[in-house]
Structure 1
Amino acid sequence: MEDIKAASTRLFICSLSVLFFFGGWASFVDSFSIGNFGLKITAIYILPYLLIGLWLYSWQRFYVLSRQSNKPIIDALILERINSTNFISKVFPHKEYGLSGAVTLGKWGWPDERIPRNSAPSFVFYGRDTLKRLFMFNYLGSDLNGDALYVHFGDSATNIKNGCLTPFKKGYWKCLWFEFKFMLRKFFDTPTVGAHYTPHLVSWAVLIFLFVKLVVSNAL
């Protein structure tokens, strides 16, 4: 498998190359040789397209490799943070689910490979995916009549409240803000976090620059 450090370095070089060229701070030579094939490109006008293609390919490769190498580590950090705060009550206020008074937080009540067997009784599973955040846990408290009431959150079912948040729900954006603040703290003291986000941030900055330079400027 391709080395993630090599992919990160290539993405940095391609991102800066695109930025310098389209920013007017660099230019191509009169011709461009391809490896040891003896092929020389003299139609210089196609080189910017090749550069953008290489940049996008490098970005895609780093995205795939970083999800395999870095994302599990980052997910574990965020999961640990979720379980050490009361953030869960901000996303799922227990009063909105017919629970009155104090509640006890409990872990998922059914066997599931995502729930560690040795996890604490109050363990909350938090899964991150593209445009999706999944919580799996339960509340134990009393209903309005004072009777015991269990409320389960996870993949929505007849006896399970929907613990899956999407961009159409306010709780999803609360999760993103929570992650952003936590990752910002970890950015400078956890190498994996910096190594994961910095290449993406640089690439997004270049993409925004290209959009302003080539689309907005021409439209004006």
Structure 2
Amino acid sequence: MKINKFLVSVIGLTLVATLIAYPVLPQQIPTHWNINGDVDGYSPRWMAIVLACLPAFMYGLFWLMPKIDPKQKSFSKFTKAYERVMLILILFMVVLQIMTFLVALGVELPIDLIVKIGISILFIVMGNYLGQVKPNYTFGIRTPWTLASDEVWTKTHRMSSYLIVVSGVLMLFCAFVSGIVGMSLYLACIFIPIIFSMGYSYYLYHCQSNKKDGIS
């Protein structure tokens, strides 16, 4: 409950601050950066309002998912994990918006480094709580095999949680490696846990099915 109140306050303050800052923003604001952290895409100033609404939209999704999920009772079993992931994700979105405004006003920031560090922290936090997530249809590692078996879901999430935390830590180091090499290593740390989770859930389900069928 405290996290919800805190996020509502942060989102509200962000919207108010955006409206106050809107008149002093340039007609074009930066909205995209290349691999080197240089701005290579701009949008009209009104996009600032859209960006300010994105955290509210994300909060709305997190509020809605437990209510529409067929296994909504499962969410009560991992409320803490769910709220912590929601907190870090929305705060990250708010930080991105603040950085966008600062750059638009002429402040020089190492955007690429800040974003990489932010995503790395997201991975560490999500991985730390992923093992607590119970079977549901809207949050977590949702493959055909985890959704088909609670046992596969649990084992996949526990194993993947460790891998995602390790990947997040490695991503922090890779964030400081410049150029295409650094970006390649960084992206590898992102995609390896995703591919592993899918493959591992299939492997577990396959083993489970063979065991039920009496196949060794």
TM range (shorter): under 0.3
Larger radius of gyration: 1
| TM-score (structure 2 length as normaliser) | 0.27
More strand by proportion, 1 or 2? Answer: 1
